Structure 1
Amino acid sequence: MILGHIGARKGSKGVPGKNFRDMCGKPLIDWSLDQLFAHPRVDAVVVSTDDERIYEHALAKGALPMGLRPAHLASDTAGKWQVWQHALEVSQTLLDSPVTAFLDLDCTSPLRLEDDITNALNLFEDQRPDMVMSCCDAHKNPYFNLVEPDETGALHVSKPLPGGVVARQQAPKVYEHAASTYVVAPDYLRRATSLYEGRVIPYVMPQERCLDIDTPLDFRIVEFLMKDRESTHD
């Protein structure tokens, strides 16, 4: 059984109320929530939130009645991993079959396609890692053009290699962690305390589908791209 999950905390300092703010005619969360309900391989959907409006909205669409998120998981310092663990634990008590894959979509990264969900699930089933995590090619590389100051304030390459790297193509491959799509093995989610304890492999997405909304400018950019995408489908 594949359990689809969305975490939508009530509070947001960067963009207040962003998870339920209108994005091209519907709440931001629905661009991800609708993908879960529409995907043929997702068997059940749950939304972890401390926002009563979002919770009732999710229930009306058919989400599992997991209740509101506990206060200790709704603070600025609450980790994604602990929220996932709680959602899995509660959801499993509401389901008749054991969860075989925990699929999380980040509602602040709504530009993924249905194919991204399918491809991430396929990668999980083919490779059997502990987790598949969405990534994109990094704009900057710590072996080449990311720098940091030493104790004197002088700059040096963040991760120097012997002999140095004089061209980006010589640098080891690095990815940006894109908060978009995750597929997690339930036994790993239960036993681990953080994302990277096990075998975590990348599902690589184009950068334009990995934009995450943290600021009002991010919201405007994603909204522009969403409108552009929707207009090409009309």
Structure 2
Amino acid sequence: MKRICTICARGGSKGVKNKNIRDLLGQPLIVYTLRQAQECQLFDIIAMSSDSQKILDIAQNYGVDILVNRPPELATDRSAKIPAIQHCVEEVERLSGQKFDVVVDLDATSPLRLPEDIQSAVSLLETEKISNVITGTPSRRSPYFNLVELGRDSVVRLSKPLNQPIVRRQDSPKCFDMNASIYVWQRDVLFNATTVFNPDTRLFLMPEERSIDIDSELDFEIVELLMRKKSIH
């Protein structure tokens, strides 16, 4: 079983400027993901894909196996993630002469995950022999109870009303937030994919405290606070 880990990190960011290389407790943000990939000891090759030479240089300094220059058309604000992963895998297979069975993509903006989370998500895919695994955490809001939408008429409505209204959140169907931390694919499924959802897609649950994806300055501050607290204890 050959496994590749891809880490796809763009140079630009609107929510948090240069977030992938921003200092987080003395290290660039992407370094936490690189080290997690190395520490879980699962991968034949760890590859960094980026349109930023600064990001690629940092990855090289921290021992990434293969660097992939991402084409500009796959690195815009509107670019989808799956084509970037596919391109990265294709380039690594071309450069290494290897073909992989399992592809694991780690989001560079999720530094709170543990190597054990990666190991468990991969184990779920390989043990159950399913198409792919995504990660998530129990949602704080429910579309059946307290998640609302604003219509074109400016009227607020429940996102997913039921015929029998729910009066307690505990009674609503269980919902989960995709935390964008870990994606695990069978390689051949990935190359036929346009979405992360397949008929047999499984969810690997992670706790809320390891599920923050940095998309804003507030996210960055929360992650920094949690990491300081962890280092103190």
Task: Quickly name the TM-score band, shorter chain normalised.
Answer: over 0.9
Provide the aligned C-alpha RMSD in A.
1.6
Distance 2:18 2:151 in 1: 40
- Give the TM-score taking structure 1 as reference length: 0.93
Number of matched pairs: 232
Corresponding position of 2:123: 122
Deviation at 1:192, TM superposition (A): 1.5
- Give the TM-score taking structure 2 as reference length: 0.93
Corresponding position of 2:34: 33
Corresponding position of 2:22: 21
Corresponding position of 1:106: 107
Amino acid aligned to 1:67 = V
Structure 1 residues 55 and 160, CA gap change in structure 2 (3 angstroms):
same
Distance 1:28 1:149 in 2: 35
Deviation at 1:155, TM superposition (A): 2.9
Corresponding position of 1:187: 188
5+ long unaligned stretches in structure 1: none
Amino acid aligned to 1:14 = G
Deviation at 1:80, TM superposition (A): 0.6
- Give matches, 1:167-178, under 5 Å: 167-178=168-179
Q: Are positions 1:220 and 2:229 aligned together?
A: no
Segments of 4+ in structure 1 off by > 6 A?
A: none
Q: Are positions 1:76 and 2:77 aligned together?
A: yes
Q: Are positions 1:163 and 2:164 aligned together?
A: yes
Corresponding position of 1:229: 230
Distance 2:193 2:128 in 1: 19
Q: Determine if contact 1:64/1:91 at 8 Å carries over to the other structure.
A: no
Q: Determine if contact 1:111/1:222 at 8 Å carries over to the other structure.
A: yes
Partner secondary structure for residue 7 of structure 2? strand
Partner secondary structure for residue 108 of structure 2? coil
Partner secondary structure for residue 203 of structure 2? strand
Amino acid aligned to 1:105 = L
Deviation at 1:38, TM superposition (A): 2.0
Distance 1:41 1:22 in 2: 27
Query: What's the % identity of the aligned pairs?
Result: 38
Partner secondary structure for residue 46 of structure 1? strand
Corresponding position of 2:54: 53
Partner secondary structure for residue 121 of structure 2? helix
Corresponding position of 1:147: 148
5+ long unaligned stretches in structure 2: none
Distance 2:151 2:59 in 1: 49
Partner secondary structure for residue 67 of structure 1? strand
